[in-house]
């Protein structure tokens, strides 16, 4: 479900000179992914770092230029928010938590209609970010701002305060409960 096999195929298709693809984490798929990298001819440009403490993994994210998170099933995907906090653009599937966290200003969230289409789009996003320093840096700055505004405690507090103020200012009708609020104010 993490779809790293698709991102490896995309990395091979992107054919980026001087770019290294680093996978952090372990698990039963590692050997299969290593063999796939070999078959794709990119094994010399792919590093498998395995499991490591969170702080060490975050240091690797901070040292990178982009986070590629192709997961097809991710409810939270906080790695995307962590990378964005570090000022890194994110390339992800337009699914689950990452689809809510990432915007067109902070990275590329790609539709996942078919494996072939997702590989093609991932490769295109990798190429664009590798070849366009201005875009990559702009998305990284926007990603950091998004985290500060939407995912930090201070940012969340401001959003909640705005919501409470809108709800408090809404006219109260004879009805009671959520039905009395305009639809845009109903929160579930």
Domain boundaries, the chain: 4-151, 153-185
Q: Domain 4-151 is of which CATH architecture?
A: 3-Layer(aba) Sandwich (3.40)
Could you write out the DSSP letters of every residue in 35-68?
HHHHHHT-GGGEEEEES--HHHHHHHHHHSS-EE
> Mean of the pLDDT values across residues 143-156?
83
For the whole model, what pTM was predicted?
0.80
Read off the pLDDT of residues 150-184 as tens digits, 9 standing for 90 and up.
Answer: 887 766 677 777 777 888 887 876 555 555 445 44
């Amino acid at each position: 479900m993490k779809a790293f096999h698709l991102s490896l195929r995309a990395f091979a298709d992107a054919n980026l000179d001087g770019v290294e693809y680093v996978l952090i984490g372990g698990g039963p798929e590692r050997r299969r992914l290593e063999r796939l990298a070999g078959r794709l001819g990119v094994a010399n440009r792919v590093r498998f770092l395995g499991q490591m403490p969170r702080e060490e993994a975050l240091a690797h994210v901070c040292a990178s230029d982009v986070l590629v998170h192709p997961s097809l099933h991710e409810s939270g995907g906080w790695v995307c928010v962590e990378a964005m906090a570090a000022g890194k653009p994110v390339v992800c599937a337009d699914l689950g938590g990452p689809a809510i966290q990432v915007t067109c200003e902070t990275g590329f969230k790609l539709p996942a209609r078919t494996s072939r289409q997702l590989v093609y789009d991932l490769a295109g996003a990798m190429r664009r970010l590798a070849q366009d320093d201005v875009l990559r840096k702009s998305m990284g700055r926007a990603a950091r701002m998004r985290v500060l505004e939407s995912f930090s405690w201070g940012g969340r507090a401001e959003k909640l305060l705005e919501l409470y103020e809108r709800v408090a200012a809404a006219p109260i009708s004879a009805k009671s409960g959520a039905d009395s609020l305009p639809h845009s104010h109903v929160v579930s």
